[in-house]
Amino acid sequence: MDIDEALTALATSTEDYRKTLKIHEASRAATIQAVLDALRAGARPTDVANTAPFSVAYVRRLARENGIEPARKDRSD
C-alpha cells in the first residue's frame, strides 16, 4: 500500500467513524430519555440499570441531574 492508498483508506474509515458516531450519539440520547421515562414512571434504578447499558450509579446520577427524587420507603409502623 502506498501513501495515497493509505490516506484514501484513512479518509474512508474516518467518514465511516463519523457516521457511526452520530448514530451512536443519537442512540445514547434516546436511551437516556427512555431511562428517565422509566424512572419517572416509578421504576427502581436497579431495575432500569438491569435493562439499560448503564451502571446503577450512572442511572442514579441521571435521576439526580434531572430532578427525579429517590424513591422513599413507606414507613408505616
What tens digit of pLDDT does each residue of 5-61 get?
A: 999 999 999 999 999 999 999 999 999 999 999 999 999 999 999 999 999 999 999
Domain range holding 9? 3-65
Distance CA 70, CA 42 (A): 10
Task: Answer whether residue 72 is part of any domain.
Answer: no
Nearest to 34, CA basis, from 59, 16, 71, 9: 59
**Grid coordinates 420507603 are at which residue?**
73
pTM score, two decimals?
Answer: 0.77
- Asked, for residue 37, whether it belongs to a domain, the answer is yes
74 part of a folded domain:
no
Looking at the domain assignment, is residue 76 inside a domain? no
Name the domain count of the chain.
1
Q: Would 40 be classed as within a structural domain?
A: yes
